[in-house]
Amino acid sequence: MAVDWSKRATWHWAMALLVALSVAWIALSRADPVSMGEGAAADPLPRKGYVAPDLRLQTLNGEMVSLSDLRGQVVILNFWATWCPACRTEMPALDQVYRAYRDQGLEVVAVNVQEDPAGTEAFVQELGLDLPVLVDLDGTVSTRYRVTSLPTTYVIDRAGVIREVTVGGPLSRAYLASTVTPLLAEKGGE
């Protein structure tokens, strides 16, 4: 039977049906606030809005660092290599931000991707960096974070949720400071 759209009654019925179906769909497709609300996604994923996957690596000094131990702090997680010009350029900015904000709860973690620790150590000494440099010798962590280009930088809030992902660089000190400042002011974590 053909619908006669020239009649007002047809439109009234169609609109009533549209509202009823839409409200039913909205009710049916409600989400679980625990797994989705406030960025508290259940599955750790290296994507904005999700909990950052855990990592456990050694620093150049041989000390073990894991991301889960840093919960409660704002973390800048930077994947880099000495052969990458943008990485080399942004490293002083990362270090300056680390020095300026570490007292407020900022941790900067620079993960060197698959390079000889001796060469990395020489670079760190040359620049006089304070920030902790972790060594991802076999590339396991960069693979878990789906890093396909260097530098790649994740900014993680006190609750361990990724709030910014930046592929490429060099990042400026101003940008890094503007990103971490509001996160440092947030409560939460632990």
Partner 1 sequence: MAPVIHVLGVALQTYPLAILAAAALAVWLAARAAQRTGADEGRIDDLGTYALLATALGARLVYAALHWSAYRATPLAVFSLSLTALSWPGGAVVGILVGGLYWWRRRLPVGPTLDALAPGIALGLAIERTGAFLGGVGLGAPTTLPWGVPILGASRHPVQLVEAAFLLGTTVLLWLRLERHSFPGQGFVQFVALYAGQRLFLEAFRAQTPLLPGGVRLVQVVALAALLGAVAYLYHQRFTRSAVRVDTPDQ
Contact 98, 131 (CB under 8 A): yes
3-class DSSP state of 136: strand
Q: Which is nearer to partner 1, 66 or 172 (CB)?
A: 172
Least distance from partner 1 to the Cβ atom of residue 166, Å:
5
- Closest contact distance (angstroms) between CB of 81 and partner 1 is 13
Q: Which is nearer to partner 1, 68 or 149 (CB)?
A: 149
d(CA 44, CA 47): 9
Q: Tell me how far apart the terminal alpha carbons of the chain are, to the nearest angstrom.
A: 63
The residue among 64 and 167 lying less far from partner 1, judged by its C-beta, is: 167
Label the pairing between strands 74-80 and 64-66. unpaired
Which residue lies nearer to partner 1 by CB, 133 or 171? 171
Asked whether the beta carbons of 94 and 110 are under 8 A apart, the reply is yes
Residue number, 66 or 143, with CB nearest to partner 1: 143
Interface with partner 1 by CB under 8 A: which residues?
A: 8, 11, 15, 18-19, 22-23, 25-33, 36-37, 39, 41, 43, 45-50, 146, 148-149, 164, 166-175, 177-178, 181
Query: 62: alpha, beta or left, given left = phi > 0 and alpha = psi -120 to 50?
Result: left
Q: To the nearest whole angstrom, how small is the minimum distance from the Cβ of residue 29 to partner 1? A: 3
CB of 49 to partner 1, least distance (A): 5
In the bound complex, what is the minimum distance in angstroms from residue 107's beta carbon to partner 1? 19
* Pairwise CA distance, residues 62 & 60, whole Å: 5
